[in-house]
């Protein structure tokens, strides 16, 4: 059974709803998504394996810490939906392609995962960081900022 209600100040309610629409705009979504990604990023960098010697390859020299220093946050345009969903990933640059071999292993090498464990360890804190940005934006709107 539907309940009846009335609105005494329709303009004020309309203004609030329009304002909340601004909170959900793409720039806020991106800020929130990046805040969460930063939490994961920091943990993954801490967990990234660092070798103890320099490797010479055809493609150049790989110094200890190159993988760790190649960890980055990237906008995932394939998953993102303009104005509705901003998706970022924590990954490594092309120069540190061997990160996938460490993360997943090979037929000759056991996996030494660091990306997934970093995500698992910090996913709740990342979600909290996303929520904090959104709550801050809502509070700013409600206080006229």
Domain count, the chain: 1
Residue with tokens 């990160």: 99
75 domain-assigned: yes
Q: Domain range spanning residue 26?
A: 15-142
39 domain-assigned: yes
Query: 3-state class of 55 per DSSP?
Result: strand
3-state secondary structure 59-109: CEEECCCHHHHCEEEEECCCCCECCCECCEEEEECHHHCCHHHHHHCCCCC
Task: Note the pLDDT of residue 6.
Answer: 66
127 domain-assigned: yes
pTM (2 d.p.)? 0.77
pLDDT digits (tens, 9 = 90+) for 16-60: 566 656 666 678 888 999 999 999 999 999 999 998 888 787 767
Average pLDDT, integer, range 65-84: 91
Give helix 115-142 / helix 26-47 axis angle, nearest 10°.
Answer: 150
Task: Note the pLDDT of residue 19.
Answer: 61
pLDDT confidence bin for 7, thresholds 50/70/90: low
107 domain-assigned: yes
What's the chain's length in residues?
Answer: 145
73 domain-assigned: yes
């Amino acid at each position: 059974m539907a309940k009846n209600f009335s609105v005494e100040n329709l303009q004020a309610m309309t203004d609030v709803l329009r304002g909340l629409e601004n909170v959900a705009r793409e720039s806020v979504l991106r800020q929130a998504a990046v805040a969460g990604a930063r939490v994961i990023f920091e943990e993954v960098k801490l967990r990234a394996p660092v070798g103890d010697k320099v490797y010479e390859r055809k493609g150049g020299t790989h110094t200890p810490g190159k993988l760790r220093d190649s960890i980055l946050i990237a906008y995932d345009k394939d998953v993102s939906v303009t104005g509705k969903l901003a998706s970022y990933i924590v990954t490594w640059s092309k120069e540190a392609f061997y990160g996938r071999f460490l993360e997943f292993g090979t037929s000759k090498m056991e996996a030494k995962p660091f990306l997934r464990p970093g995500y698992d360890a910090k996913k709740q804190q990342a979600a909290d960081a996303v929520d904090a940005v959104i709550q801050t934006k809502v509070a700013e709107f409600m206080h006229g900022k």
